[in-house]
Amino acid sequence: MTPVPQSVSLRGVEKRFGDTVAVAAVDLEVRPGELMVLVGPSGCGKSTLLRLVAGLEEASAGEVWIGGRCVDDVPPGDRDVAMVFQSYALYPHMTVAQNLGFGLRVRGARRAEIETRVGEVATVLGLSGLLSRRPGQLSGGQRQRVALGRAMVRDPGVFLFDEPLSNLDAGLRLRTRDEIAALHRRLGTTMIFVTHDQVEALSLGERVAVMDRGRVLQVGTPNEIYRSPGDLFVAGFVGSPAINRLTLMRDGGGHLAGGPFRLAGDWPFDDATLAVRPEDLTLNAPHADFEAAVIRVEVLGSEQRVHLDGPDDAAWVARVPPTLRVAAGEGIGVSVAWERAHLFGPDGRRAGSAPRPD
Ligand code: ATP
């Protein structure tokens, strides 16, 4: 089993369905052997992008390259890719072994070769004891592994996963996610994985591409996406609880002001958004930036989430250690880790880190 990992390159790719622009001028480079996750809200175009790579949709503009060749005129079966769908799409009347071998059989592979290959893949995926069962006699997780195995038997250069975990319950979802990560480490094959779940994206992706309304807004490692969002949408989409925000307006002195804050500087815009991660707030520290009322305390065991009334009219959340003594109804001093706070301009693009206020 030595698939050659392939690069995938999207160059100015656009897809329109009538008046709907599903994918708008996307440039994306997936490196050979990389696990890239496409994440974004429902309808942002991620499945369409994957289907364009697979050849199940034809681009309205732009080019798709796989392994250094333009595949725009190459049919899906000859693109060296294999796709795993959310719905598994297993044949119910066939055994696991027949399902696994189906792709090879239709390509005219010899029986002995099919048996060897199916045996290898079943061993890797822990399906050896289930080869004579039918899909109806398998658990959801086992079916998912058969779907995965069916993609693997062909040794594709690129695996494409379209929300393959969304039909699984929470526990199985986590285990299958680990299995896919382990499989990626073992095979070293290029994988593109689509999900709407930002936690899944950060946990699985070597790099993550965040999409919104047909566009790729940012591509980066999970840490880059989380710590250095280039865009307010990315900052808000990734992270739970969501990043805290406050609108700032330019005052007479050219400063950006909002609530208790006044940020000095020569700002090129009239309004901006200050954004601070919940873990970048400290409660009860010696030098508070503002005072807020505690609305509610969520005790999660490993941490507490403290819901605050403020700054100004904003509802902010602080993530604090479980040992901090804090109760609803009290007033509390809040300080901001300014070196990790972000400022976004009116166009939503990151304008820089927020300077410590005057
Ligand atoms: P989800 O997470 O809900 O699957 P998605 O991010 O994968 O969403 P797509 O399925 O790629 O989004 O759809 C992107 C946009 O294109 C949506 O507005 C959708 O309604 C539209 N669209 C997708 N396929 C078609 C089609 N065959 N005909 C018309 N419109 C389509």
Q: Which atom of ligand 1 is nearest to the CA of 50?
A: 11
Whether ligand 1 lies within 6 angstroms of the CB of 196 is answered as yes
Count of other CB atoms within 10 angstroms of residue 215: 17
Going by alpha carbons, the residue nearest to atom 1 of ligand 1 is 42
Mutation choice for ligand 1 from 13, 14, 15, 20, CB with most ligand atoms inside 8 A: 20
The reported pLDDT for the residue numbered 23 is: 97
Tell me whether strands 342-344 and 350-353 are parallel, antiparallel or unpaired. Answer: antiparallel
Please state the pTM of the whole predicted model.
Answer: 0.91
Whether ligand 1 lies within 6 angstroms of the CB of 195 is answered as no
The 10 Å CB-count burial string (b at 16+, else e) for 292-311 is bebeebeeeeeebbbbbebb
Q: Which atom of ligand 1 is nearest to the CA of 49?
A: 11
Whether ligand 1 lies within 6 angstroms of the CB of 45 is answered as yes
Per-residue tokens: 272: 């901006």
Cα–Cα dist 138/167, whole Å: 14
From the number of C-beta atoms within 10 Å of its C-beta (0-12, 13-18, 19+), residue 190 rates as: buried
Cα–Cα dist 165/6, whole Å: 24
Return averaged pLDDT per consecutive 10 residues of the chain, 358 residues in all. Answer: 82 97 97 97 95 96 96 93 80 94 89 92 88 91 86 88 78 81 89 94 97 97 97 96 95 88 87 97 92 96 95 94 95 95 95 84
What residues contact 268, with CB distance under 8 A and at least 6 apart? 345
Per-residue tokens: 130: 């289930």
Whether ligand 1 lies within 6 angstroms of the CB of 23 is answered as no
CA of 30 to the centre of ligand 1 (A): 22
Cα–Cα dist 37/39, whole Å: 6
Whether ligand 1 lies within 6 angstroms of the CB of 44 is answered as yes
Per-residue tokens: 66: 């796989």
The reported pLDDT for the residue numbered 141 is: 80
pLDDT digits 0-9 by tens, 8-23: 999 999 999 999 999 9
Going by alpha carbons, the residue nearest to atom 10 of ligand 1 is 47
Is the Cβ–Cβ distance between 284 and 323 less than 8 Å? no
What residues contact 154, with CB distance under 8 A and at least 6 apart? 82, 103, 104
Is the Cβ–Cβ distance between 139 and 166 less than 8 Å? no
CA of 217 to the centre of ligand 1 (A): 18
Is the Cβ–Cβ distance between 38 and 211 less than 8 Å? yes
* Percent helix / strand / coil, the chain, rounded to 5: 30, 35, 40
pLDDT digits 0-9 by tens, 38-85: 999 999 999 999 999 999 999 999 999 999 999 999 999 899 998 887
**Structural domains present in the chain:** 8-233 (3.40.50.300), 243-353 (2.40.50.140)
